Amino acid sequence: MRHNRQPVHDRYHHVVKQATYAVQDNHAFWEGRSLRAWTDVLVDTLVAEFDPVSIILFGSLATESDGPDSDIDLLVVLDDAPLADRRRTMVEMRRVTRGVAAPHDLLVTSIADFERNSARPGTTEYEPAQHGVAVYERVAA
């Protein structure tokens, strides 16, 4: 019996646009925008889609030590982010931010876990809490 199937590479073929990358003054530029400019795009998108309590920029961009190989590291603090759902939430965040040309890492936590773990080394919350910069905070109603 012969199957009349397309080869896998034909069935899943899609075109991926190659992003333009440049280095200027030892800083990365993707599609003509700096990582700081792309951070604003990420924050606007995440706020519109997920209504976070806060978003914290951490890593080399937050400490102004970014270079040509840097990316954007964000911790997104949500009202409620059950541990069992965080991976799914991060995947969904990656989906809605796929139009952002600059490389970025998105981590998720709940406000309760952020408050509990921000002073505990080795936790997801520690580095952003100790060395990060809040790039968004929801206004209390």
Q: What is the pLDDT of residues 29-42, one digit of tens each?
A: 999 999 999 999 99
Per-residue pLDDT, 19: 77
Report CA dihedral (41, 42, 47, 51) to the nearest 10 degrees: 170
Q: Among 67, 48, 60, 65, which Cα is nearest to 136's?
A: 48
pLDDT at 5 over 80: no
- pLDDT band with cut points at 50, 70 and 90 for residue 120: very high
Q: Note the pTM of the prediction, 2 decimals.
A: 0.86
Q: Is the pLDDT of residue 13 over 60?
A: no
SS3 128: helix
CATH architecture for the domain at 8-137: 2-Layer Sandwich (3.30)
pLDDT at residue 140 greater than cutoff 90: no
